[in-house]
Amino acid sequence: MKLLLFGAPGVGKGTQAKLLADYYSIPHFSTGDMLRAAVAAQTYLGVQAKQHMDGGRLVPDELMIAMIRDALVGPTAKTGFILDGFPRTVPQAETLTVIFHDIGASVFTVVNIDVDPELIIKRLSSRLMCPNDGKIFSSELMDVRQNGPCPACGTPLIQRVDDRPETVRERLEVYNAKTAPVLTFYEKLGVVVTVDGNDTVDAVNLNIRNKLRALKR
Ligand code: AMP
């Protein structure tokens, strides 16, 4: 099972990727999580990436491609994987085709999660993160607040710098300009499955699994 989760910021890629990784017992590679870990550890990559991430811009392709190539050629990706947040540009998608060829991953599916733009803004502005383990919570759906305790471990919850309203606008513009064309790239290959992401987490998850089962890939 090789899946690429695709969609605008805030459609629930990370949440769904974690659930699917558990369900299919395959590794989940989130480029956003990998970058945030690099920023926290102040590695060379983290220092380079931080300025772009905080501004809501994309991290340069060459850094991203090196990172994802390292993850996919490793032994953990042999039985399958879920990519969440990659590719985000057409050059990244083109290079991923070469990497897939190198690792023999000829059959894969792009899961496109589609959510109404107004709901995306609402979700991002109410999204809180636990800095300890990266878990995501919604102040719309749960009784959680910024600086309040993480329901799982008690660490004070934070709002991601790039979830602030002014940065969200920039991220959505970047998505439309640079990332949306990636969907057209994969549609031409006939590998896209689109699911309605406006529903609850569980309903969207069931919908994805049903669509994947129907594909029998
Ligand atoms: P995410 O957690 O997926 O929303 O990613 C957070 C931020 O990390 C993005 O807004 C980008 O700045 C950066 N990022 C993550 N994945 C990529 C990628 N494939 N290409 C470029 N930048 C990325």
DSSP states of 137-190: EETTTSS--TTSBPTTT-PBPB--GGGSHHHHHHHHHHIIIIIHHHHHHHHHHT
Structure tokens that stand for 21 in this block: 């990784």
> Could you tell me the strand order of the sheet in which 192-196 lies?
28-30, 81-84, 2-6, 109-114, 192-196
**pLDDT tens-digit series, residues 85-120:** 999 999 999 999 999 999 988 899 999 999 999 999
Residue 11 lies in a domain: yes
Total tally of structural domains belonging to the chain: 1
Range of the domain at 100: 2-26+79-115+175-215
The number of the ligand 1 atom at minimal distance from the alpha carbon of 53 is 12
* 158 Cα to the center of ligand 1, angstroms: 18
Residue 134 lies in a domain: no
Which residue in this structure is represented by tokens 């910024």?
146
Residue 143 lies in a domain: no
Global confidence as pTM: 0.92
Residue 102 lies in a domain: yes
Candidates 60, 57, 53; CA nearest to 37 is: 53
pLDDT of residue 201: 94
Catalytic residue ranges: 13, 88, 127, 160, 171
Check which CATH number belongs to the domain holding 210 and give it.
3.40.50.300
Residue 107 lies in a domain: yes
**pLDDT tens-digit series, residues 25-78:** 999 999 999 999 999 999 999 999 999 999 999 999 999 999 999 999 988 888
Sign of CA dihedral 138, 151, 3, 52: positive
Share of the chain above pLDDT 70, in %: 99
Share of the chain above pLDDT 90, in %: 89
Residue 35 lies in a domain: no
Structure tokens that stand for 26 in this block: 């395959």
What distance lies between CA 86 and its chain's CA centroid?
7
Mutate to test the pocket of ligand 1, among 29, 54, 58, 120 (most ligand atoms within 8 A of CB): 58
pLDDT of residue 217: 61
Residue 126 lies in a domain: no
How does the average pLDDT of the chain come out, rounded?
95
What distance lies between CA 33 and its chain's CA centroid?
8
Residue 18 lies in a domain: yes
Which of 47-51, 80-84, 117-121, 175-179 has the weakest average pLDDT?
117-121
Q: What is the CA radius of gyration of the chain?
A: 17
Is the C-beta atom of 162 inside 6 A of ligand 1? Answer: yes
| Protein residue closest via CA to atom 12 of ligand 1 | 53
